[in-house]
Chain A
Amino acid sequence: MKWLATLGLAGTTLGFIAIAGQAFSGAQPWDAELSDNFIFAKAIPFILGLGVLVGALRRTAAPTSPATDGHVRRFSPGTVAGHWINAAGVFLALGTGSWQYLRGIVGVDAPVPLYLFYRVHYIGATLILFSAANFLTYWALGVETPLLVPRGQWLRHLRGLAHELPRSTGTLLADLIGLDMKRTPPPVEQFTYYEKTVSFPIWLILIALITVSGLIKALRYVYPVPGGVLYWASGVHVATMVLIAIKLLDHMRYVFGRWPLLVSMCTTWISERYVQARHPGWHKQLPAGSERPAAPGPSPAEAMAGGSE
């Protein structure tokens, strides 16, 4: 695998050098904004390729310990890194994209040049594209999909969701699709039913929409895109941006109310006591305490939570 990584990194580096060589040669009649547009559009294949490479290499990494005394690993270190790279991209792209849209509505200009907004927007988009390619490759090469609802399990998951939602909303959902709420709710596994049936599918759809519409918009700098297609791509891009802003608020609200889940997305670890109480289905699948390696000292989760978990 080392040769593949070397080859991929060399190809990516050469690609970026070639793009920079053209953009900064002094021979192009581009202003700062147009130059950024061209650099971003031409870099896209290399960004996606790098994401695919990293996703494939993550699959070859040695498995990490699933649990130690008192703590359980909820995410791999690669997943945590990928999540925060994507999050940084979303914050940068959303902040600059929102400003661009809102300033058009209210009719004001920022005290900094416009091209800087686009530059930061493209940096955010680069991080999102890299993450999308990274995660899609990682999932495609694996067999386990704990965030996806397995085939034939949707009703069971929706019943779990109805029990997790506030009583009135859960009852409404149960009435709408005919769920038997008198049955014992299915035990929560590694991810909550809300995460699996609502949150993750919505994120997937929104990231796909913003990525594809953004790619079409960027494509016009290297290929003649018809005006009608561009119009619809721009409309979808803006509408998806608003939906992502809403979903991000919901995502933050959800994890802020479940602090150990947020900690696990920073440290990879979650306390076993929390898993036992809130994720009993997952707890049953964990190896027994005697089969686990000894704890390697205080976990990062303890450090972040001030030892309170």
Chain B
Amino acid sequence: MRALTGALGLVWAAANLLAAWVLVTKSFTALVPAKEGGLAQLLILLGGLALAVFAVALGWSSLRLALGETPND
């Protein structure tokens, strides 16, 4: 059960990393955020960076769970 949960966590972390990559790389280049203005673009960039940080943290936690390195107690 731990391995399955860890694997699902890794998939979720990877999907969020992909979303973070889109937000970070497109925040100042895509047309839609540009229409919203500089503040919206900055918020998208910050949101993408925060998403990436927490996705990496979940990935690490999921990997440890899948490999059985998380203590029982």
The answer to whether A105 touches B72 (Cβ under 8 A) is no
Given contacts A105-B22, A259-B72, A277-B73, contact A250 B1 (CB under 8 A): no
The answer to whether A309 touches B73 (Cβ under 8 A) is yes
When distances are taken between beta carbons in the complex, the residues of chain A under 8 Å from B50 are 246
Q: What 0/1 pattern do residues 235 to 269 of A give for CB contact below 8 A with B? A: 00001001101100110110011011010000000
Name, among A102, A245, A250, the residue most crowded by chain B CB atoms within 10 Å (CB to CB).
Answer: A245
Residue A229 is within 8 A (CB to CB) of chain B in the complex: no
When distances are taken between beta carbons in the complex, the residues of chain A under 8 Å from B22 are 102, 105-106
Select B72's contact among A246, A253, A256, A309, beta carbons within 8 Å.
A309
When distances are taken between beta carbons in the complex, the residues of chain B under 8 Å from A106 are 22, 26, 30
The answer to whether A252 touches B30 (Cβ under 8 A) is no
Residue B19 is within 8 A (CB to CB) of chain A in the complex: yes
Closest chain A residue to B2, Cβ basis: A259
**28 A-B contacts (beta carbon < 8 Å):** A105-B26, A105-B32, A105-B33, A105-B44, A106-B22, A106-B30, A107-B30, A239-B47, A242-B23, A242-B51, A245-B51, A246-B47, A246-B50, A249-B12, A249-B57, A252-B58, A252-B61, A252-B62, A253-B54, A256-B6, A256-B9, A256-B65, A257-B70, A259-B2, A259-B70, A271-B73, A304-B1, A305-B1
- Residues of B with Cβ closer than 8 Å to A? 1-2, 5-6, 9, 12-13, 16, 19, 22-23, 26, 30-33, 43-44, 47, 50-51, 54-55, 57-58, 60-62, 64-65, 70, 72-73
Select A105's contact among B1, B30, B54, B61, beta carbons within 8 Å.
B30
CA A256 – CA B19 in complex, angstroms? Answer: 22
The answer to whether B73 touches A256 (Cβ under 8 A) is no
Closest chain B residue to A266, Cβ basis: B1
Residue A284 is within 8 A (CB to CB) of chain B in the complex: no
**Apart from A256-B65, A259-B2, what are 7 other A-B pairs with CB-CB below 8 Å?**
A249-B12, A249-B13, A249-B58, A252-B9, A253-B58, A306-B1, A309-B72
Residue A59 is within 8 A (CB to CB) of chain B in the complex: no
A: interface residue count bin: 20 to 34
Select B43's contact among A239, A246, A273, A274, beta carbons within 8 Å.
A239
Residue A298 is within 8 A (CB to CB) of chain B in the complex: no
Residue A290 is within 8 A (CB to CB) of chain B in the complex: no
When distances are taken between beta carbons in the complex, the residues of chain A under 8 Å from B5 are 256, 262
- Residues of A with Cβ closer than 8 Å to B? 98, 102, 104-107, 239, 242-243, 245-246, 249-250, 252-253, 256-257, 259-260, 262, 271, 273-274, 277-278, 304-306, 308-309
CA A204 – CA B30 in complex, angstroms? Answer: 33
Name, among A243, A249, A253, A274, the residue most crowded by chain B CB atoms within 10 Å (CB to CB).
Answer: A249
Sorted from nearest, which 9 A-B pairs have the closest CB atoms? A249-B54, A242-B47, A256-B61, A253-B61, A253-B58, A105-B30, A249-B58, A253-B57, A256-B65
CA A98 – CA B13 in complex, angstroms? Answer: 14
The answer to whether A98 touches B19 (Cβ under 8 A) is yes
CA A106 – CA B47 in complex, angstroms? Answer: 16
The answer to whether B54 touches A308 (Cβ under 8 A) is no
CA A221 – CA B11 in complex, angstroms? Answer: 36
Q: How far is the CB of A242 from chain B (nearest CB, A)?
A: 4
Select A252's contact among B2, B12, B51, beta carbons within 8 Å.
B12
CA A250 – CA B2 in complex, angstroms? Answer: 18
